[in-house]
Structure 1
Amino acid sequence: VLKVAHHGSADTSWRFTRAVAPRLATVSVGADNDYGHPTGTALRMLRQVGAVVHRTDHEGDVAVVVRDGRLSVVSRGSGQRSR
């Protein structure tokens, strides 16, 4: 599990992401933020290493839990992103 640093900015390290190779990644980011976070580059990088990405701007609060011995993600609320 990787909690993505700096809201998934363009500074996300490919070398670090590849070394960690998370199966699950969470991105804490405000809806409609002015910085464009998470960046497309960061999201592509995570998906290329096989991570399932969960974002607070889309899902609201997210928590990683263990259910029946397996990792699972629980979200509460909805993101505040306007569509």
Structure 2
Amino acid sequence: MIDTLTCDAEVDASGLNCPLPLLKAKMQLNQMAAGAVLKVISTDAGSQRDFSTFARLSGHSLLQQSAEAGVYTYWLRKA
């Protein structure tokens, strides 16, 4: 089950529009050790595109993502 994926930190960006969810995630990742997992919660539908592109370009791993009832959740492993 997706919800059992453990994380080292969490960012709740609910109610924020692009680019704020990604910006908050980047700021948190900068404070984390390599290999740590960040969970991000967003209500911005555009975040699906943003986080997959960000992971590909930054070298971080997008471990998992889910979309349920307008809530988008991402798990990123810091490179």
Rg bigger for which structure?
Answer: 1
TM-score (norm 1): 0.34
